Amino acid sequence: MAKLNPHIELEMTDISALAIRSSQETLVANQLHGHVYPSDMFSDTGHHYNYIVTNPPFHSGLETSYSATERLLAESVDHLASGGSIWVVANSFLKYPPILEQAFGHCDIAAKTNKFAIYHAKK
């Protein structure tokens, strides 16, 4: 995204130190600029975004769990600017459309294969 849109201000957050380090190394390897910092969802952001792009977690150990995703999607509404969009990349078998519909009132399927899906909702 940042390579195709060099004017964007990129922020990347995660609660995992390994994911934070990986994100930092990805920026360096691709000669990109962005802010990477630890945050439990939006706890340390305090910003309003034009876009939120996420591949939310769905594992709790070996089990499929929607609790983190439900929280992320519900809270994302409050962190999007007016007219802002959320894009969710996920395995196709995950039942994210109803969660997005509950949070945003609608959910569009931007792309879908038998393995992956991209969902979109707008504030």
Could you give all domains of the chain from N- to C-terminal order, each with its CATH number?
A: 1-38 (no CATH), 48-122 (3.40.50.150)
Categorise residue 61: left if φ over 0, alpha if ψ from -120 to 50, beta otherwise: left
What are the angstrom distances between the C-alpha of 55 and each of 46, 82, 87, 92?
20, 22, 9, 12
Q: What is the pTM of this model?
A: 0.86
Residue-wise pLDDT for 42-81, tens only, equals: 777 767 899 999 998 776 666 777 788 888 899 999 999 9
Output the six-digit token pair for 112: 């879908």
Stretch 1-24: mean pLDDT: 89
Pairing relation of β-strands 59-60 and 63-64? antiparallel
pLDDT number for residue 41 = 76
Strand (E) or helix (H) holding 64: strand 63-64
pLDDT number for residue 57 = 77
